[in-house]
């Protein structure tokens, strides 16, 4: 499960901050048109879903001032 790390000499740690590699990584592969279009479509879908949820949710959160302040049951009207 857990790997034991081997002890490292202190001299190696002291030189670690100025170590530079002479190996350059390969250049990144450019995304194709389909991948870019898919990313844009996914982003627009997420933004539209958030906007739609706001449009639907805001009226449910607003207070209805036309309703009576204290709810009364019908049983209390017929004493």
- Helix residue spans in the chain (DSSP H): 10-15, 33-61
Report, as an integer, the average pLDDT of 4-14: 60
Residues 6+ apart with CB under 8 A from 39: 31
What b/e readout covers 66-75, taking b as 16+ CB neighbours within 10 angstroms? eeeeeeeeee
Residue 45: the pLDDT is: 98
Q: Tell me, what's the pLDDT at 75?
A: 64
pTM here is 0.48
Residue 57 burial class via C-beta count within 10 angstroms: exposed 0-12, middle 13-18, buried 19 and up: exposed
pLDDT at residue 24, as a whole number: 85
Residue range 17-69, pLDDT digits in tens: 566 677 888 899 999 999 999 999 999 999 999 999 999 988 888 877 665 56
């Amino acid at each position: 499960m857990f790997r034991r790390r081997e002890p490292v000499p202190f001299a190696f740690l002291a030189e670690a901050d100025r170590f530079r590699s002479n190996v350059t990584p390969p250049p990144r592969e450019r995304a194709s048109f389909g991948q870019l279009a898919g990313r844009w479509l996914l982003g627009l879908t997420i933004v539209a879903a958030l906007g739609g949820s706001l449009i639907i949710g805001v009226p449910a959160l607003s207070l209805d001032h036309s309703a009576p302040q204290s709810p009364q049951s019908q049983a209390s009207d017929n004493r």
